[in-house]
Amino acid sequence: MAGKTEIGNKVLTKLGQSRVSNFDTDPTASAKAINEVWDSVLLFTLQSFPWNFATVRTNLAADTNAPSWGFNYKYPLPSDFLKLLQIKDEPTYQLEGGYILTDAVAPIYIKYVSIVRDSGLLPPFFVELLSHNLAIETCERITGDLNLKQLLIAERKEIEYSAQTSDAVDNQPIETDMDDWIKVRF
């Protein structure tokens, strides 16, 4: 899997710039620009899709303090929480201030997108999308070339689709029941 320097160098290559040996220590303006937006672009890219590699299932215990009104229980979100995908048994809930508020009795079971900060754990298709998003975000600052930025933005949809498709292939197909209207069409 790719490290931060490898990903950063992919960005620089997309921008027609020279590669660097270590993104954490390199003093160039290009490396600094990428480092400054790294976390926000990583979180944005992680949150954009329910990636299999970043999906976690866990159970949560209720907080000792109940909400003052509206729901009976509140559950603290995990420290690596980024985006809620599912609560088992689908209770009514609300996300507020780092908690899930609900009337569901503890424990509740959730599936969520987690924050994956170790770039070595990112699969190749995600690395490609992340590096592309980083290139878009830093293009104007590093190159000053608005035409290149527009080209990168135009290419993003295809790269995003490819990454999401590659990720989805790992899942078992979802079978749907055919209703009478669909059966007649066959």
Written as tens digits, the pLDDT of the chain (186 aa) is: 689 999 999 999 999 999 999 988 999 999 999 999 999 999 999 999 999 999 999 999 999 999 999 999 999 999 999 999 999 999 999 999 999 999 999 999 999 999 999 999 999 999 999 999 999 999 999 999 999 999 999 999 999 999 999 998 877 666 666 666 666 665
**Residue 173, pLDDT score:** 66
Structure-token pair, residue 113: 């997108």
Q: What is the DSSP letter of 61?
A: P
Contact indicator for 41, 133 with CB cutoff of 8 Å: yes
